[in-house]
Chains A and B, each alone.
Chain A
């Protein structure tokens, strides 16, 4: 597999539910994967208690305070700190809890830290040098099989490794008929340069990791770094665990791990109404039926000189209640200067959608931005009449090109 394609796979994670590091590690541990142990805390006092408990259980004298947010690059943003005393644990936790953590993945607005994980120090000195590796399990879309991607270059950005040393990223594909085999795990362990006890431990780690991946309907595991400790243990120091949303019905315990505070509140609200909404930075709102047509509508807005304010797929049943909800969600964005509704009515009749738009408009009352409605398909002409005769400040068109031209007019 070419490295560029591996990178594409790593980044293009589909339909996933993100969970926190501490939750990911909890799952891994359940399946016998070695982890850097720790406890979650929401206050500095809880953090100190967690540190004491951890000292009793693992003997650790140093601790790592790790911000729990759904974003990578936490260390770069100051979200991960080493504490060498209980006082440090308290002061560092106080500092990290409540901070707005900005990392390369959060965007400039950052993420509020509500929880920290107090973890054991695993870089303790010993008989052997420590070593960091990289490991991911995910789907290779091209072959329809799961693949383990790994590298000796752990603890750093995998994109950088791919750029500087593409030959150091290796992969091992799993045959779904039989699952991962021992020889595959051994091959990986030897390719990572491990021998003796560490090699054995790595084989165990890989077998358990894959088992956990399959058993949880995961869509991606990314363990960076996988650490060989100075006493030849193999453990996950970080754990980015993403679960397949489509598989969650089989795992109510995992579904309960969702942390909606980490998600965009408007997107969460939209999802509750079965609307597929993604907030963007532009000035033209849009409401469309179907994901492909929704993206195409965003492209039309751009070509007309505007910028899409959102992606919004209302799905197959664009009835009045749903259209109203969609309008309300789009109008929450103060940047929206106009709204383009683009519905291709197939099974759904356009005249019904048009009536829905009129009803929703009246129900909301004050709408101060121009609305362009493009209805095409079954009863498109009747639909246009309903809109045109409604007396509302709504412009209606039938062809997609006409919709594009109207957007241009509004922006002029």
Chain B
């Protein structure tokens, strides 16, 4: 068992024939991911990258049995695409799109309440279970297979962490990029819970950044329920209050969402926090050797 996606996942690409969708779908296929088709309204019945194109997600699901979708449609139409996937019964929806209006995501969040779909993102690098399925835009070669799960708000910092874990002699079970937007489908806590329950994961890297309280909530749960070691890092110790650092959600509001405050809470909850992002792999190796 891995988390969210595996070699049996049947994946469709929404926004399949666009430039982003085409490029990354190609990369996913090269990686060996089971991409069974894609959706572009108006292009149903044609073929793209040697796979069928459908007008609707429902058509794609009925014909291919797809259970995972990755979304590359532009911000103005992305909320609609997420809801269409949920309506069609897609189990795991990965939304890569950056720049979706917050008001749209308020509606999406509401729409997904009580439905069985899991949304990852938006504005995220996606999910990868090495050697099985890459459902995202991450460089696949960095993620060697192993027993360490990664949860992260940031794309390139996820690659950095995976690279360090691999260079320290371990590998990755599943890496989940949850995204840095104010409203995201899967929180740090929900992703941590998945990895804690996964029998192919022995340790977890949890990477957060300034802003919000997702890491604190996850840490408090880990303190009570954690069964595996967790190594943590929070980016943005040097970020000044009130200035947004790239990610829509990365802005220090009060005393509780600074990097220091988050790292303190994480330490109090038994998480192995590193001060330097260069020490994630080394720390994980130390912790796993115990």
Task: Point out which of B164, B253, B257 has the most chain A C-beta atoms below 10 A from its C-beta.
Answer: B253
- B100 interface residue, CB < 8 Å from A? yes
- The answer, yes or no, to whether A378 is at the interface (CB within 8 Å) is yes
Complex Cα distance, B242 from A10, in Å, reads 11
Tell me, in angstroms, the Cα distance from A249 to B75 when the chains sit together. Answer: 10
Which residues of A have CB within 8 Å of B153?
292
Q: A8-B253, A298-B239, A299-B238 are in contact. Are A141 and B212 (CB under 8 A)?
A: yes
- C-alpha spacing A94/B3, complex, angstroms: 66
List which A285-336 residues lie within 8 A (CB) of chain B: 288-303, 307-308, 311, 313
Residues from 224 to 268 in B contacting A, C-beta threshold 8 Å: 233, 235-257, 259
CB <8 Å contact, B139 and A400: no
Q: Kindly list chain A residues whose C-beta atoms are within 8 Å of the C-beta of B247.
A: 291-292
In the bound complex, do residue A14 and residue B163 qualify as a contact, i.e. CB atoms below 8 Å apart? no
Tell me if A12 and B154 are in contact (CB < 8 A).
no
Q: B107: CB under 8 A from chain A?
A: yes
Q: How far is the CB of B155 from chain A (nearest CB, A)?
A: 5
Q: Is the Cβ of B252 less than 8 Å from the Cβ of A400?
A: no
In the complex the two chains form, what is the Cα distance from A357 to B153 in whole Å? Answer: 28
Given contacts A12-B253, A292-B235, A293-B157, contact A400 B106 (CB under 8 A): no
Known interface pairs A11-B254, A214-B103. Does A290 touch B156 (Cβ–Cβ under 8 Å)? yes
A217 at the interface (CB under 8 A from B): yes
Identify whether the interface residues of A are mostly helix, strand, loop, or mixed: mixed
Q: B155's closest neighbor in chain A, by CB?
A: A290
Listed stretches A142-150, A196-204, A230-238; interface member = A142-150
- Sample of 9 further A-B pairs with CB below 8 A, known A346-B138, A377-B139: A8-B257, A15-B102, A15-B244, A144-B106, A219-B102, A296-B157, A296-B235, A298-B236, A300-B276
Q: When the two chains form their complex, are residues A176 and B157 in contact, meaning their CB atoms are under 8 A apart?
A: no
Given the interface pairs A142-B213, A176-B107, A291-B245, the reply to whether A296 lies near B139 with Cβ below 8 Å is no
Contact between B253 and A301, CB atoms less than 8 A apart: no
**B139 is contacted by which of A11, A301, A303, A347 (Cβ under 8 Å)?**
A347
For the complex, what is the distance from the CA of A250 to the CA of B110, rounded to whole Å?
21
* Interface residue A139 (Cβ < 8 Å from any Cβ of B): yes
Q: Which residues of B contact A250 (CB under 8 A)?
A: 76, 101
Give the distance in Å from the alpha carbon of A400 to the alpha carbon of B213 in the complex.
27
Contact with A along B147-180 (1 / 0, CB 8 A): 0000011111111100110000000000000001
By a CB distance below 8 angstroms, the chain B residues around A8 are: 213, 253-254, 256-257
- Whether the Cβ atoms of A293 and B154 lie closer than 8 Å is yes
Is B142 interfacial (CB-CB < 8 Å)? yes
Closest to A308 in B: B238
Q: Is B35's CB within 8 Å of the partner chain A?
A: no
8 tightest CB-CB pairs across the interface, nearest first?
Answer: A292-B154, A291-B246, A12-B253, A290-B156, A346-B139, A11-B253, A144-B109, A247-B101
In A346-383, the 8 Å CB interface with B consists of 346-347, 376-378
A91 nearest CB across to chain B (Å): 34
Contact B106–A146 (Cβ < 8 Å): yes
Instruction: Indicate whether A401 reaches chain B with its CB closer than 8 angstroms.
Output: yes
User: Could you list 27 A-B pairs, sorted by A, with CB under 8 Å?
Assistant: A4-B254, A11-B242, A15-B182, A15-B244, A144-B105, A145-B106, A175-B110, A176-B110, A247-B102, A276-B246, A291-B246, A294-B245, A298-B239, A300-B276, A300-B278, A302-B238, A311-B243, A311-B245, A313-B246, A346-B142, A347-B137, A377-B163, A399-B278, A400-B160, A401-B276, A404-B276, A404-B278
Interface assignment of B64: CB less than 8 Å from any CB of chain A: no
Is B285 an interface residue, CB under 8 A from the partner? no
Please give, as numbers and ranges, the residues of chain B lying within 8 Å of A294 by CB-CB distance.
Answer: 245-246
Binds A, one of B10-18, B38-46, B50-58, B203-211: B203-211
Interface flag for B27 (CB, 8 Å): yes
- The reply on B99 being an interface residue by CB < 8 A is yes
Q: Quick check: is B49 within 8 A (CB to CB) of the other chain? A: no
Is A344 among interface residues, defined by CB-CB distance under 8 A?
yes
Contacts of A296 in B (CB 8 A): 154, 157, 160, 233, 235, 277
| B88 lies within 8 A of chain A by Cβ | no
Query: What's the nearest-Cβ distance from chain A to residue B188, in Å?
Result: 12
Bound together, the chains give a CA A294 to CA B277 distance in angstroms of 11
Residues 114-150 of B, flagged 1 when their CB comes within 8 A of A and 0 if not, give: 0000000000000000000000011101100000000
A297–B235 CA distance with the chains assembled, in angstroms: 9
Contact indicator A289/B238 (Cβ below 8 Å): no
Q: Does B183 contact A (CB under 8 A)?
A: yes
* Chain B proximity of A94: nearest CB distance (Å): 32
Contacts of A291 in B (CB 8 A): 154, 180, 209, 245-247, 250
